[in-house]
């Protein structure tokens, strides 16, 4: 049994990340978790644009038979690590970040080492 966690933003391009995570699972024995963590200070969950993005994530989670978790947290890395432990995650799928997000990825990669494999999907990937 393998548990895969896909970390997504609210962008519709996250479909390729969820698809990659789904391909890493093996049928009914494995579980797929789609996780979106956003800072508490980042807007309100009630905006129509954010609502549409969350609806899209929900539909994608249903399409891939995945568990969807949306969390507000100021400490994204610690929150992701907590979810890795809570769900017994074996593999984490992340999209390659821009220059600002690379620090978070490096920090997460360092802390998740030995707990789960990290798969970083390049931004230009057609997967």
Spell out the domains of the chain, with CATH numbers in brackets.
3-121 (3.40.50.620)
Per-residue pLDDT tens digits for 31-90? 999 999 888 765 555 566 777 888 889 999 999 999 999 999 989 899 999 999 999 999
> What are the Cα distances from residue 48, in Å, to 52, 54, 62, 105?
6, 10, 21, 29
* Interatomic CA distance for residues 41 and 55, integer angstroms: 21
Averaged pLDDT for residues 19-29: 87
Instruction: Write down the pLDDT at residue 90.
Output: 95
Q: What is the secondary structure of 33-76 as a DSSP string? A: EEEEEE-TTS--TTSHHHHHHHHHHHHHHHHTT-EEEEEE-S-H
Is 125 a residue whose pLDDT tops 50? no
Tokens of 5: 């966690």
């Amino acid at each position: 049994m393998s548990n895969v966690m896909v970390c997504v933003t609210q962008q519709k391009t996250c479909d390729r990340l969820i698809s990659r995570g789904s391909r890493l699972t093996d049928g009914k024995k494995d579980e797929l978790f789609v996780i979106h963590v956003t800072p508490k200070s980042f807007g309100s969950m009630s905006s129509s644009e954010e609502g549409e993005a969350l609806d899209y994530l929900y539909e994608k989670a249903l399409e891939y038979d995945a568990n969807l978790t949306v969390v507000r947290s100021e400490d994204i890395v610690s929150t992701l690590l907590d979810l890795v432990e809570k769900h017994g995650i074996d593999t984490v799928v992340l999209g390659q970040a821009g220059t600002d997000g690379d620090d978070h990825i490096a920090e997460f990669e360092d802390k998740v080492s030995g707990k789960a494999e990290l798969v970083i999907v390049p931004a230009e990937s057609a997967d």
